[in-house]
Amino acid sequence: MTQLELLVQALIVGAASWRVASLFVQEEGPLGVFWRIRNRLGIDVDAIAPAGVRGFLHELFSCVWCWSVYTTPVAWVAYELAPIAVTIVAAMTVTILIQKRAVG
């Protein structure tokens, strides 16, 4: 693998990883599935609680960076097994960036 190919893979994996982490933390998701996961776990990510009181799951479900520790290695392995699937998820990120740029 050349350095350029590795860079492209890192960009695709990074974009896909962010997309999945963002779904878990910030979005309802298709049919509200990610909202329901957070709700079932009793996690109200909008509620403010002192850091020591929140617990691991609240911290995880309120932090894209925290999720990325888990989603990035999974996305990297997934890319090795099914690069097109991971690239599609990464393309969703590009779509979001274009929309945010267009709308402002």
Write the pLDDT tens digit of every residue in 43-90. 776 666 555 556 788 888 888 999 999 999 999 999 999 999 999 999
Task: Enter the DSSP assignment of 47.
Answer: S
What local confidence, expressed as pLDDT, does residue 54 receive?
64
Q: CB-side exposure of 35: number of CA atoms within 13 Å?
A: 7
Mean pLDDT value of segment 30-52: 77
Residue 62 is classified by DSSP as T
Rounded CA-CA distance 92/24 in Å is 15
CA 37 – CA 97 distance, rounded (Å): 25
Mean of pLDDT values over 28-56: 77
pLDDT surpassing 70 at residue 39: yes
